[in-house]
């Protein structure tokens, strides 16, 4: 599909220095070519009127579960990428717990082929570590890194012993992203609390200590081998404090909007829809995570979009699966926080785009600057609208944030210079591209 010439007219443009410019952005061949107070339109420019709207770099969501192949009754790459386009997410990094697991080059190639056919936004796929795929972990391409489930997983993707983790940290130099929960502690506490069906027990079974112990182990191994480590969905005050005291330069961490904005009180209102791994924590954890994000101890934001159907979620705990969707709500949720004065719009764009591109070495993304890819989102910071189940595009069809009144909803989303979402309409013929990742420096 040919990429049209675009002129975005009179937007509040977020510049790389964090300031805003009221002006125009010119796009040619999928890249930003000019940013200026006024740019004269060419005859073949498609003009996008942006008066009253704010232009941000497209969101890069670095942790999602899109369920294809194998679990398409929950979500697939088409429905998920439609939800991304609506949510202003122009690129995503997807996790390996599909069926088959993404643990070989062949499985990675299969996902890339499927994505090329059906994804409306840009895509990258993690390679999952098992105890026997060290060679694949070294050579698989392209991938943002190796995903290790230290806990909260069944089957070959669970690596819950130091002796099995060690060779992975010792071999190669690409990024390792960890789901850090101590499986032994979780199993012991599961027995202790067996028989309880109130989902609130989930946060006690998989408690703060379980997360802290696994994060400590991952940090120990990362230090030993000076290995690039990323800690996924950091959820506890204790882990944030640990990193605040001593975070090696080669370590990054992320937090989800749910761990910032929801806590254990959500079980009383939304039951098992509030169940995720690592679990929701206390209001104190919310506050410490926020502070860590503001201080730069936590580097960026991911949704951990992990859809399950309402029928699956309706099973009584512990048979109800863990996970909640997020790509459609993450940007307005965070921009609403900015509007309320908890952070700035520029910080939100940094946490949801610029810092992610930097951490994963994704070239030419995350900034509105000539030479960068035209992955952009125009948001409306004035209008407030509620999250409505009837408007959701994710196949699972629910959100833990239903009823929340949010501002900063995307009005236009642009992927590689192509308008993919525009005033509630999707352009279904748009396709994203595979992301590339610079080797660890």
Q: Which residues contact 384 (CB under 8 A, 6 or more apart)?
A: 405, 406, 407
Residue 35 or 108 having the CB closest to ligand DOR:
108
Q: Is 76 a catalytic residue?
A: no
User: CA geometry: angle at 18 spanning 32 and 434, to 5°?
Assistant: 40
**In the complex, least distance from residue 152 CB atom to ligand DOR, rounded to whole angstroms:** 6
User: CA geometry: angle at 143 spanning 153 and 57, to 5°?
Assistant: 105
With CB atoms as reference, the residue minimizing the distance to ligand DOR is 323
- Point out which residues pair with 410 in neighbouring strands: 379
Residue 122 or 320 having the CB closest to ligand DOR:
320
Is-contact 50 23, C-beta < 8 A? no
- Point out which residues pair with 422 in neighbouring strands: 412, 425
**In the complex, least distance from residue 440 CB atom to ligand DOR, rounded to whole angstroms:** 24
Residue 152 or 350 having the CB closest to ligand DOR:
152
My answer on whether omega of the bond before 69 falls inside 30° of 0, hence cis, is yes
Residue 152 or 354 having the CB closest to ligand DOR:
152
Is-contact 84 78, C-beta < 8 A? no
Residue 70 or 135 having the CB closest to ligand DOR:
70
**In the complex, least distance from residue 122 CB atom to ligand DOR, rounded to whole angstroms:** 21
**In the complex, least distance from residue 31 CB atom to ligand DOR, rounded to whole angstroms:** 34
**In the complex, least distance from residue 178 CB atom to ligand DOR, rounded to whole angstroms:** 11
Distance of CA 237 to the CA centre of its chain: 21
Residue 422 burial (10 A CB sphere; 0-12, 13-18, 19+): middle
Is-contact 436 362, C-beta < 8 A? yes
Q: Which residues contact 155 (CB under 8 A, 6 or more apart)?
A: 101
**In the complex, least distance from residue 326 CB atom to ligand DOR, rounded to whole angstroms:** 11
Residue 199 or 408 having the CB closest to ligand DOR:
199
Question: What whole-number distance in Å separates Cα of residue 162 and Cα of residue 178?
Answer: 13
Is-contact 70 98, C-beta < 8 A? yes
Q: How far is CA 169 from CA 221, 228, 414, in A?
A: 7, 9, 38
Residue 67 or 367 having the CB closest to ligand DOR:
67
Taking each helix axis as running N to C, give the angle between helix 105-118 and helix 77-87, from 0 to 180 degrees, rounded to the nearest 10.
60
Kind and range of the H or E run holding 160: none
Residue 32 or 168 having the CB closest to ligand DOR:
168
**In the complex, least distance from residue 232 CB atom to ligand DOR, rounded to whole angstroms:** 8
**In the complex, least distance from residue 322 CB atom to ligand DOR, rounded to whole angstroms:** 4
Could you tell me whether strands 89-94 and 59-64 are parallel, antiparallel, or unpaired per DSSP bridges? parallel
Question: Taking Cα atoms as reference points, which of 353, 350, 347, 411 lies closest to residue 377?
Answer: 411
From the list 24, 304, 373, 375, the catalytic residue is 304
Token pair 């946060």: residue: 203
Token pair 């009383």: residue: 268
Structure tokens at 101: 């697991």
Q: Which residues bind ligand DOR (CB under 6 A)?
A: 65, 97, 152, 179, 276-277, 304, 306, 321-323
Catalytic residues: 304
């Amino acid at each position: 599909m040919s990429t049209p010439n675009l002129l975005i007219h009179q937007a509040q443009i977020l510049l790389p220095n964090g300031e805003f410019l009221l002006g125009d952005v010119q796009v040619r061949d999928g890249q930003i070519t000019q940013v200026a107070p006024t740019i004269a339109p060419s005859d073949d420019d498609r003009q996008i009127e942006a008066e009253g709207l704010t232009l941000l770099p497209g969101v890069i969501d670095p942790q999602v579960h899109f369920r294809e192949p194998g679990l398409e009754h929950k979500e697939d790459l088409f429905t998920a990428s439609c939800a991304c386009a609506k949510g202003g997410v122009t690129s995503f990094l997807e996790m390996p717990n599909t069926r088959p697991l993404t643990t070989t080059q062949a499985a990675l190639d299969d996902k890339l082929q499927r994505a090329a056919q059906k994804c409306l936004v840009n895509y990258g796929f993690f390679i999952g570590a098992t105890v026997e795929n060290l060679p694949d972990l070294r050579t698989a391409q392209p991938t943002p890194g190796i995903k290790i489930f230290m806990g909260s997983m069944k089957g070959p993707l669970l690596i819950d012993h130091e002796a099995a983790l060690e060779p992975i940290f010792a071999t190669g130099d690409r990024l390792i992203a960890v789901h850090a929960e101590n499986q032994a502690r979780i199993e012991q506490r599961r027995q202790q609390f067996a028989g309880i069906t109130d989902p609130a027990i989930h946060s006690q079974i998989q408690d703060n200590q379980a997360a802290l112990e696994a994060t400590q182990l991952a940090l120990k191994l990362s230090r030993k081998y000076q290995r690039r480590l990323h800690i996924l969905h950091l959820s506890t005050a204790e882990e944030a404090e640990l990193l605040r005291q001593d975070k090696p330069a080669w370590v990054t961490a992320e937090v989800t909007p749910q761990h910032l904005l929801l806590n254990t009180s959500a079980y009383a209102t939304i039951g098992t829809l509030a169940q995720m791994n690592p679990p929701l924590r206390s209001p104190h954890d919310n506050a410490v995570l926020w502070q860590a994000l503001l201080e730069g101890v936590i580097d960026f934001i991911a949704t951990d979009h992990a859809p399950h159907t309402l029928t699956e979620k309706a099973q009584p705990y512990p048979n109800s699966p863990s996970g909640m969707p997020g790509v459609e709500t993450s940007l307005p949720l965070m921009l609403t926080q900015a509007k309320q004065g908890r952070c700035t719009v520029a910080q939100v764009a940094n946490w949801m785009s610029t810092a992610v591109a930097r951490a994963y070495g994704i070239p030419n993304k995350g900034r509105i600057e000539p030479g960068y890819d035209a992955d952009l989102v125009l948001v409306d910071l004035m209008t407030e609208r509620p999250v409505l189940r009837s408007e959701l595009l994710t196949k699972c069809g629910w959100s833990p944030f239903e009823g929340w009144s949010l501002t900063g909803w995307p009005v236009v989303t642009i992927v590689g210079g192509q308008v993919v979402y525009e005033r509630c309409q999707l352009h279904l013929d748009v396709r994203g591209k595979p992301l590339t990742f610079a080797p660890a420096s």
